[in-house]
Structure 1
Amino acid sequence: MTKTGGRDGLYICLVSVHGLIRGENLELGRDADTGGQTLYVVELARALARRPEVARVDLFTRRVVDPRVDADYAQPEEDLGDNAHIIRIDAGPEEYLPKERLWDYLNCFVDGALAHIDQLGVTPALIHSHYADAGYVGVRLAHHLGVPLAHTGHSLGRVKRRRLLARGESSATIESTYAMSTRIRAEEEVLLAADLVVVSTGQEIEEQYGLYDWADPEKMTVIPPGVNLERFTPPPEQFAPPICDELKRFLREPERPMVLALSRPDERKNIATLIEAFGAHPELRQQANLVVIAGNRDDIRDMDAGPRKVLTDILLLIDYHDLYGVAAYPRHHQSDDVPDLYRLVTRSGGVFINPALTEPFGLTLIEAAAAGAPILATEDGGPRDIIAACENGELIDPLDAEGIGERIAALLGDRERWRRYSENGVRRVRECYSWDAHVESYLERVVGLFEGEARAVRPSLPDHVLTQVDRALVVELAALGDSTDAAMRRRLVETLRAHRRQAGFAVVSDRPRREVLAALKELGVPTPDVLITRGGTQIHYGPRLSRDEGWSRHIGYAWQPDRVYNLLAQTPGVELRSRAVQGVHAVHAFIADTDAFPGFEALENQLHQLDIHANLVRLSRNELLAMPVRASKGFALRYFATQWGIALDHLLVAGGVATDEDMLRGNPLGAVVTADGAQELPGLTDLDRVIFTRAQGPGGVLEAIEHYDFFGACALPAESPSDGVAS
């Protein structure tokens, strides 16, 4: 337990990177990124914060400054009440971007979240990530802070890829449109790292997570989402909500039973089949109205290709079946209209229908049930659990348009069955799907994870230069060049000495400490203030090279070096140095026979199958390093910066080997200064906080110092010269 804001209890951080998230008037259905997940995380934050054992909940999302969206999303912080907050983090361009374009900026998001947590001065008890991109962030936050990680996938990349392939999309198109391999890799990584995976239905575990190599059913727990029972209620006696006026524009007899579908304009939601079912059924056309709420739109022609096609198909099908006067398809609706639409279904004696091809859970179904509307829903996914629990509707085959029409007509015509479904839904949603029930189950399952480790204390070195500086130059050993760079290296050393009391100096390497020290001596570079070696598994300070024992304890979590060493020793094609020269937290190996070696991915899978917690880092084509999951150059860099109170945007990192990527990404100022840097680090070429210098080695480091005005403003230049350094 910790004290946060004067209140004792748990501090929980939720992470949901993409979408437009705010406390009120959520724009559900605006696009593919503003679906039920955005409502879920806001309601979860509020419900958790109401619990007496929870002191504070922060929901981290991306800050958006864009004239195309509301100014609410530009506010750095929003109070949700009961000590729950939305914290908006700057990450990448200010404008609103689809989730597929955010991957390059997620390290900046990690750094921004860490800065907020550090400023708050309280270590979270738990990180809970939502969706794949947040999972990437959550893994890094949890490893850095040494706290448990929970994850909710909401939807999964392998499932989506399989569905798109079945629809006829090519693998190349799927990859370029959805960054699918990046997403799936992030999902595998979070499944390996997470202490708990929260799912909504048992079907997710069996049929969706079952497609993943690193999914562990023992980590998974079914906790269905809740519904806001104050917002979703049956209709009162007198009921004429504002949305009625909008529907009357479309409907000749608005009092008829309403057949309502509400979803994003997404092809998977299968709205077209529902229109076919309604339009081809003469009895329905005579007795009911069809209402389709498919997000909000101004001009369909300006929308992305997917929603544009769905909405165009809707209009064409309504015209084909001549449903004018019996079908409503409003262009706009407000968040507050949604409960009223469900109530109109109940008041009119209608039905709410979800005809999606597949539905992971079906939040709209329990919202409709809470308002007293009977439901018909796809037999593929979560609706099976909801209808089994609430006995308030029936499952349908989403591919059988004729059958859907028959089922709608039969339910509308059987008033006794309709009344039973309506009453069951109102009663049983309150028993099974309230947010209070959700968070009670949630906290029961995660309470055993809350016994986190204390943050490492700052090393006691009162006279160390790091206590006096506000910035640091961090250089990969390879960036210091060789014998041909002696003149530039002397100039770099002189520059650092001249600013000794202003900037710290750190050297980073994948090599052991003794090799790094020998190389520095040969190059004529003095012992740095910070030495990070063996891929980030060791941190030493000052001329006496005092070891940071706090870091060693932090990364030692779940580390089993003997098991790692033995597995590598038994792997065909691998040769190991003796145990005597291995690091405490690193096992160094060579691939002596590439034909016999099973491959990097196969070795990673074997580590996981044997429940060995380790990361594999490829140092070169024939060399690898195994280390704890909490260790890397990037993790070590951020740890040292946090310990000494140096802001990440006041670090200038110069590197150029493949293992430097997580050190260069994020909020530090970065420079790739080696001859092979573009080949080794192709993923950094489009980042505005990383430059590829013209000069190489120490000359490139000096170029970067000048580019960022490191000893002055220490920031990105206002404008990069058009013919200068590439970024």
Structure 2
Amino acid sequence: MTQQTEGLYIVLLSIHGLIRWHNLELGRDADTGGQTLYVVELAQALASQPEVARVDLLTQRVVDNNVSSDYAQPVEELSENLRIVRIDAGPEEYLPKESLWDHLDSFIDNLTDFFRDNNAVPDIIHSHYADAGYVGCHIASLLGIPLIHTGHSLGRIKRSRLMASGLKAQEIETRFNMSRRIEAEEQTLATAERVITSTHQEIEEQYELYHYYQPDQMRVVPPGTNLKKFMPPTGTELKSSLFKKLTTHLKEPDKPIILALSRPDQRKNIVALVEAFGQSLQLQQLANLMIVAGNRDDIDDLDEGAQEVFHELLVAIDRYDLYSKVALPKHHQRDQVAEIYQIAAASGGVFVNPALTEPFGLTLIEAAACGLPIVATEDGGPQDIVRNCKNGILIDPLEPETISAALLKLLRKQDLWRKYSASGLRGVQENYSWDAHAKRYLQIIRPIAERSEQLVRKPVKQRAGLYRDRAIVSDLDQNLIGDSQSLRELLEVLRRQRKSTYFILATGRRLDSALKLMKKHRIPQPDVLMTSSGTEIYHAPKLTIDTFWARHISYRWSLREVKKILVDFPGLKNQPTQEQSRFKLSYYINPELADIEKIKQLLHQEEQAVFVQTAFGQFLDVLPLRASKGMALRYVVEQLNIPLEAVFVAGGSGADEDMMRGNTLAAVVANRHNEELSQLTDIERIYFSRQPNAAGILEALDFYDFFNSCRDPREVSPADENG
């Protein structure tokens, strides 16, 4: 075999999905989405660079009457140095990626033959996704080619999302070959010279969970943006039919447009934007608000999560009487998105992304490419974007006043608006265009290809099991929080044990309230966050809500009926709206007037399937019968496939009691509220710490030797009994 003598020969390996140069069938199925678009655009960008001699994009060949015959062509050339090469592997028909694993070794052999027949070995092979990583590892080892890898999505994170949809661990293994995928990802990390990601957050929250993770291996190169599609306004946008359609309900449509564009998802936090707008008369005088939140014919036809978002939006619009000041268009087409950005820019507006969590922030880059200054959440990807483009202001998504302050600053100061608009255009060109991506990419791989730079791997210790096998669960208030020094020590322990141990938080607070408290005390996002007393469950890293749990606990639950029954009950007072949720009714208690047992009796007499709990002697929650912290915890650990005996629970109030009873290893911290939980002193597997707060948790973890033997030393083991 011979090497290319001039310029780099790069092979991109993306096995699954339907890949061709024209008319990509994006969204046809789960395998034909962002990854296929990314590798096609990356290949084209690299082939246009003068130091690149050839780029081959290698994928599977598909001969199937159900798909286009394009995918059966062995070779599809786009230019003299750029082609798609399709390799045979297993059955010819189009298979989902989960069914390809048994055929990847055949792909490896046929790919090796391809290189041999062409008498050329690439300088670099870049694998995309786990299946390509598996192939890339073998080819790299066989032919001595440096491997570069991009995961796109990772098995450990995908497993969490599937569990959030209600799938059991065994079903996930059977349907998605998850163990093989994760093993392939570990092998890829052990082999690759460099791993390319989109953001720093992706590295910290996802790759760090892997045993063969090497910090020096990782490089952040954001994907490119199509600047032929997303570009500044031409000056005709405010006369277009689309502008008239979008602003038809606005009283003063010529005002600047504050634009938000996202899915109707709680995590996108667009209700907070309406709150900020509604609370600021100055903002309302200066601008209109436009929220483009997907397409809908009837809100009642949307899924429950989207329905709840629209309900909160409409309630907020009504509360602040924002009719004729807020546009909430029902429909838009995908190819109109760029024009929507351009309309907002032409109006002198601002783009806002107030999401609770934002791993990347593609909409921010698209908006910047259209000349829109941005206001964005300080979480994740937007930090990188604002740092690179210097085109906007980061805000705390949990504090509406920071949103309104940033918007007022940009709308009032025209010089600043123009500065950020111009800076954003430059920054996108320099950092987020495909040309910029390709140049940064080549800076990384060139020394690897030339063998002048090699990864020095640090020794790693791989655990026996593929998945984490234990979990630590804690409440926030009157428990985890209270002493900053011991909290820092506990968080460091959790960080070190991250590969073996899940971290779960269970709180009576709503999601936004819990996140605000966590942020204040610098508590990182847990693997699972159970909020509103166990009625809502969110999974890391994107706070994916557990939809199966929501369906499960809705059984025989009637929020309206419970409200009606308790409306005049003596000693009860409604907590503020922000502490209520669709599965939790929260009250303040006057202990002298409110008889808890009578409340329970009344609700049961009225045939309400509910669970009633109290906490801190002053709060009462009414939940669905199937919901509580303890029920949510048992559901979560079953999904994670962890035995309760390997779960440690720390509690400090009566609301934690049902988490602590049973087979878990539990601890009551010394600062528990009054004498709540004192009735648990005689219960086995419950330890009463002498120290308060996080120090008490650390004390109990040491008592149980949790990260090693993980058992209650007071219990007699079978080995002890046998002498």
Distance 2:399 2:166 in 1: 20
**Distance of aligned partners of 1:72 and 1:138 in 2 relative to their CA distance in 1, 3 Å threshold:** same
Secondary structure at the residue paired with 2:447? helix
* 2:77–2:84 Cα contact (<8 Å) kept: yes
1:270 to 247, 251, 267: 267
Query: In structure 1, what is the equivalent of residue 384 of structure 2?
Result: 385
Secondary structure at the residue paired with 2:189? helix
**Distance of aligned partners of 1:248 and 1:339 in 2 relative to their CA distance in 1, 3 Å threshold:** closer
**Distance of aligned partners of 1:379 and 1:97 in 2 relative to their CA distance in 1, 3 Å threshold:** farther
Query: In structure 2, what is the equivalent of residue 439 of structure 1?
Result: 438
Shift in Å at residue 347 of structure 1?
Answer: 1.4
Shift in Å at residue 247 of structure 1?
Answer: 5.0
1:421 aligns with 2:408: no
Structure 2 counterparts to residues 244-643 of structure 1, below 5 A? 244=242, 248=246, 257-261=256-260, 270-271=267-268, 273-275=269-271, 277-278=273-274, 281-282=277-278, 287-292=287-292, 294=294, 326-330=327-331, 332-334=333-335, 337-398=336-397, 404=403, 407-408=406-407, 411-412=410-411, 414-450=413-449
1:211 aligns with 2:209: yes
RMSD of equivalent CA atoms: 4.8
Q: Deviations over 1:362-385 (max 9, x none)?
A: 344333222211223333322212
Shift in Å at residue 235 of structure 1?
Answer: 1.7
Shift in Å at residue 275 of structure 1?
Answer: 4.6
* 2:12–2:57 Cα contact (<8 Å) kept: yes
When the two structures are superposed, what TM-score results if normalisation uses the length of structure 2?
A: 0.51
Distance 1:225 1:39 in 2: 11
Shift in Å at residue 348 of structure 1?
Answer: 2.4
Distance 2:109 2:25 in 1: 28
Distance 1:355 1:144 in 2: 48
* 2:194–2:217 Cα contact (<8 Å) kept: yes
Letter in 1 for 2:367: A
* 2:127–2:149 Cα contact (<8 Å) kept: yes
Q: Deviations over 1:508-557 (max 9, x none)?
A: xxxxxxxxxxxxxxxxxxxxxxxxxxxxxxxxxxxxxxxxxxxxxxxxxx
Query: In structure 1, what is the equivalent of residue 597 of structure 2?
Result: none
Distance 1:327 1:241 in 2: 20
Distance 1:30 1:289 in 2: 33
Shift in Å at residue 214 of structure 1?
Answer: 0.4
Distance 1:434 1:25 in 2: 21
2:133 to 125, 132, 135: 135
Q: Deviations over 1:630-676 (max 9, x none)?
A: xxxxxxxxxxxxxxxxxxxxxxxxxxxxxxxxxxxxxxxxxxxxxxx
* 1:110–1:140 Cα contact (<8 Å) kept: yes
Structure 2 counterparts to residues 92-107 of structure 1, below 5 A? 99-100=97-98, 102-107=100-105
Distance 2:87 2:239 in 1: 37
Secondary structure at the residue paired with 2:372? coil
Query: In structure 2, what is the equivalent of residue 148 of structure 1?
Result: 146
Shift in Å at residue 194 of structure 1?
Answer: 0.6
* 1:257–1:288 Cα contact (<8 Å) kept: yes
Shift in Å at residue 157 of structure 1?
Answer: 3.3
Secondary structure at the residue paired with 1:58? strand
Shift in Å at residue 160 of structure 1?
Answer: 4.9
* 2:300–2:307 Cα contact (<8 Å) kept: no
**Distance of aligned partners of 1:318 and 1:203 in 2 relative to their CA distance in 1, 3 Å threshold:** closer
Shift in Å at residue 193 of structure 1?
Answer: 0.9
Distance 2:385 2:39 in 1: 20
Q: Deviations over 1:21-75 (max 9, x none)?
A: 4445656677765554444322221121112222211223455678887776666
Shift in Å at residue 599 of structure 1?
Answer: 5.9
Letter in 1 for 2:215: P
Unaligned stretches of 5+ residues in structure 2: 318-322, 468-723
**Distance of aligned partners of 1:241 and 1:424 in 2 relative to their CA distance in 1, 3 Å threshold:** same
Secondary structure at the residue paired with 1:57? strand
Query: In structure 1, what is the equivalent of residue 633 of structure 2?
Result: none
**Distance of aligned partners of 1:222 and 1:285 in 2 relative to their CA distance in 1, 3 Å threshold:** same
Structure 2 counterparts to residues 692-703 of structure 1, below 5 A? none
Shift in Å at residue 401 of structure 1?
Answer: 6.6
**Distance of aligned partners of 1:20 and 1:285 in 2 relative to their CA distance in 1, 3 Å threshold:** farther
* 2:223–2:434 Cα contact (<8 Å) kept: yes
* 1:392–1:424 Cα contact (<8 Å) kept: yes
Shift in Å at residue 91 of structure 1?
Answer: 5.5
Q: Deviations over 1:438-496 (max 9, x none)?
A: 333322332233358xxxxxxxxxxxxxxxxxxxxxxxxxxxxxxxxxxxxxxxxxxxx
Distance 1:98 1:25 in 2: 20
Q: Deviations over 1:369-417 (max 9, x none)?
A: 2221122333332221221122112234455677656655664455443
Secondary structure at the residue paired with 2:445? helix
* 1:278–1:285 Cα contact (<8 Å) kept: no
Secondary structure at the residue paired with 2:49? coil
Q: Deviations over 1:305-335 (max 9, x none)?
A: xx9666666666666667897112436323x
Shift in Å at residue 241 of structure 1?
Answer: 10
Q: Deviations over 1:665-715 (max 9, x none)?
A: xxxxxxxxxxxxxxxxxxxxxxxxxxxxxxxxxxxxxxxxxxxxxxxxxxx
Shift in Å at residue 360 of structure 1?
Answer: 3.7
Shift in Å at residue 257 of structure 1?
Answer: 3.9
When the two structures are superposed, what TM-score results if normalisation uses the length of structure 1?
A: 0.51
Distance 2:220 2:115 in 1: 29
Shift in Å at residue 343 of structure 1?
Answer: 2.3
Shift in Å at residue 420 of structure 1?
Answer: 2.6
Unaligned stretches of 5+ residues in structure 1: 453-557, 559-563, 565-570, 572-597, 603-727
Secondary structure at the residue paired with 1:56? strand
Aligned length: 449
**Distance of aligned partners of 1:214 and 1:252 in 2 relative to their CA distance in 1, 3 Å threshold:** same
Query: In structure 1, what is the equivalent of residue 234 of structure 2?
Result: 236
Secondary structure at the residue paired with 1:122? coil
Query: In structure 2, what is the equivalent of residue 40 of structure 1?
Result: 38
Letter in 2 for 1:432: N
Distance 1:208 1:134 in 2: 19
Letter in 1 for 2:360: F
Distance 1:101 1:424 in 2: 47
Distance 1:54 1:372 in 2: 32
Distance 1:191 1:231 in 2: 35
